Amino acid sequence: MSPSRLRGAGSGLPGARRPDPQQRPVVATGGVRRRPGWVWAGVGTVVVSAVGFVMVASAVGEREKVLVLARDVPVGHVLAADDLRQAEVASGTGVVLAADRARVLGQRARVPLVAGSLLAPGQFGGARAFPPRGQSEVAFAIEVGNASPEVVRGDRVAVLEGPGGSAGRGGEEKEDVAPVVGTVTAAKTADSPGGPRVVTVLVETGAVRRAAGLEHPRVVVLPAEGREAP
């Protein structure tokens, strides 16, 4: 039997499906038919997300020019152009804008100002806010060897009478003078090699007289916390 006859005979076998002349052939397109409603919903989501990202990025990236201390400034110092510089920071409150520079110049610092810090409105002009009530600043002339060269502003120290003071002079017995404890607010280098350096310490006002009576003072750095004193 020829192959052509076999193919033709298959259509007459029991159970075989005959092609429906009304049925259209299915054509593979290689893709999936999309529903327009879902397409537009997806596009809307992308647009909203993009707009939200732009708004957040804009808010985060908003920066303003503010005034920054170019160097350390002691209390009472008259602010000059060389004391200030500009910097761009994220927008916020509690700082002085660079646009207000003119009203800052010529004002006195109410508190000690540190280089690199942002200038705040309450730090200049008006009455002095430093030293705080009940405390005073005392400047000590510290001879070579009576203080560590590492003593810097912010250190908590005890100032004692050093060798050669009145307590040990002339063989007279004298009650040891209690140390004066405070915080260093300024530490200048010596004006000449071998000369004394000036260390300014914030102490309780009641200890000022005792501090002034210390001869050949020496400075001992104390732990940052606690009440330990020599």
Residue 11 C-beta-side C-alpha neighbours within 13 Å: 7
Rounded (5°) CA angle 96-100-106 = 95
Q: Are strands 135-142 and 84-90 parallel, antiparallel or unpaired?
A: unpaired
CB 155 within 8 A of CB 82: no
Residue 36 confidence class, pLDDT cut points 50, 70, 90: low
Q: How high is the pLDDT of residue 54?
A: 40
42 has which bridge partners? none
Residue 145, pLDDT > 50, answer: yes
pLDDT band at 217 (very low <50, low <70, confident <90, very high): very high
pTM above 0.75, yes or no: no
Number of residues written out for the chain: 230
Between residues 196 and 26, the one the model is more confident about: 196
31 neighbors 79 (Cβ within 8 angstroms): no
Given this model, what pLDDT does residue 165 score? 61
108, pLDDT greater than 50: yes
CB 214 within 8 A of CB 160: yes
In this prediction, residue 128 carries a pLDDT of 72
> What is the Cα 99 distance to its own chain's centre?
22
pLDDT at 21: 54
For the ranges 16-25, 33-42, 154-163, the maximum mean pLDDT occurs at 154-163
Dihedral angle, C-alpha 213, 217, 223, 228, nearest 10 ° = -50
